[in-house]
A = this chain, B = another copy of it.
């Protein structure tokens, strides 16, 4: 008998029929003896409907506090419907809004952060044999104002509840049956992973494998909540995301290949190499609210240096204008940029203890005559920027080179 938190997103509860299917799924866990807390999102389309209503009145910037009052009704409807569906199929159930649980957040409307969760009431209902259905994505601040965690925040609610309740597992139900070694649309031989670490998942998620919300993975890692990604309406074990507890066992070096098509590259050349130059270049970019991803600065040459970074493609034109201005101010020689690039990364905790992972990556790319424009590394990741047209070729080559194509690997 385990305590399980299950989270179902908007598509999984998008109709009366689907809500009934979710109730049947929850019932199976109850019948097996588990205690279950279910976190749900608004029915798909509902949040957008509400935001549209608000915009009809307030224009593009609805009053943040009131928007949360409104948008939070989406989940409130779902929790009531799911509780009804559970009761209808013979499972005692009770619903909770974020405020009723008391999911205490800060007062940053539309993007609040969870500060604390009172878990006593939920525990009492679990002990009384009930399934507890909680509205995701919402909370309440110290003054009693309704807050929302921002879009996709229901994952975070699930993980935070699992942490507060010390649940055995937090199950995130989605429209995929797990986390894959890479995007199966690019590499048909991509495989579902049985297990992946929080760190790897973070690298995979932030690189474009958008199965889970990044914040929820960070949260799960921080509080060591085992997270499982599963398909809402298909049977299967999904992918378990946990701490890297089995360091002594044989580990695969690389868990997956991630990629991101949404970046653009900017270079400023012939920058006088003085202390503080990086700040002079990136300060104005940051002040313009543009997020920077990769940053590469090479060794200087003739007391000048070249500086390259990537931004989201939507920010490219803005970033270019800011950078040209900076170039004039600091006396740099030239500014250039390229939107036809892509970032490809290999991710795996195994590379910590294996030398030569990066060179194996470069070798695989060289074999395909793919030129590497930028390189950036972290403890468990190596990313390269290449020309966009080579994306599929590069990902497939790396998938093979790191032996991810083979039948399900052992010990992972």
Question: What residues make up the interface of A, taking CB atoms closer than 8 Å to B?
Answer: 16, 19-20, 50, 53-54, 56-59, 62-63, 65-67, 69-70, 72-73, 76-77, 79-81, 83-85, 87-88, 94-95, 97, 99-100, 144-146
Q: From residue A332, how far is it (CB to closest CB) to chain B in Å?
A: 46
Pick from B20, B53, B145: contact of A81, CB under 8 Å:
B53
- The listed residue (B16, B53, B79, B100) touching A57 by CB distance below 8 A is B16
Residue among B69, B77, B81, B95 making CB contact with A95, cutoff 8 Å? B69
Chain B residue with Cβ nearest A67: B80
User: In the bound complex, what is the Cα–Cα distance between A62 and B79 (angstroms)?
Assistant: 14
Complex: how many Å from CA A366 to CA B238?
A: 85
Which residues of B have CB within 8 Å of A83?
Answer: 63, 66, 69
A84 adjacent to B62 (CB under 8 Å): yes
> Could you say how many copies of this chain the assembly holds?
2
A80 touches B88 (CB 8 A): no
A208 CA / B233 CA spacing, docked (Å): 53
How far is B54's CA from A402's CA once the two chains are assembled, in angstroms?
52
**B50, A77: Cβ atoms closer than 8 Å:** yes
**Within 8 Å CB of A95, what residues of B?**
65-66, 69
A70: which of B62, B69, B76 is its contact (CB, 8 Å)? B76
A94 contacts across to B, CB distance below 8 A: 65
Partner of A53, one of B58, B77, B99, B144: B77
Most buried by B among A19, A62, A73, A144: A73
Q: How far is the CA of A54 from the CA of B95 in the complex (A)?
A: 14
Query: A73 vs B79: C-alpha distance in the bound complex, in angstroms?
Result: 12
A58→B85 CA distance, assembly (Å): 7
Cα–Cα, bound, A57→B18 (Å): 11
A16 touches B53 (CB 8 A): yes
Of the residues B20, B50, B57, B72, contact of A85 by C-beta under 8 Å: B57
Closest to A145 in B: B100
- Can you list 18 contacts pairing A with B, beta carbon distance less than 8 Å? A16-B57, A20-B57, A54-B80, A57-B81, A57-B84, A57-B85, A63-B83, A63-B87, A65-B94, A66-B79, A66-B80, A66-B95, A69-B79, A69-B80, A69-B83, A70-B76, A70-B81, A73-B76
A83 to B, closest residue via Cβ: B66
B84 & A58 in contact (Cβ 8 Å cutoff):
yes
- A77:B84 contact, CB within 8 angstroms: no
Cα separation A69 to B79 with both chains bound (whole Å)? 8
Asked whether, in the complex, the Cβ of B54 is within 8 Å of the Cβ of A84, the reply is yes
Query: In the assembly, what is the distance between CA of A95 and CA of B146, in Å?
Result: 10
Residues of B within 8 A of A84 (CB): 54, 57-58, 62-63, 66-67
The CA-CA distance from A57 to B65 in the complex, in Å, is 32
- Distance, CA A84 to CA B62, complexed state (A): 7
Q: Which residue of the partner chain B has the closest CB to A79?
A: B69
Known: A63-B84, A144-B100. A73 touches B69 (CB 8 A): no
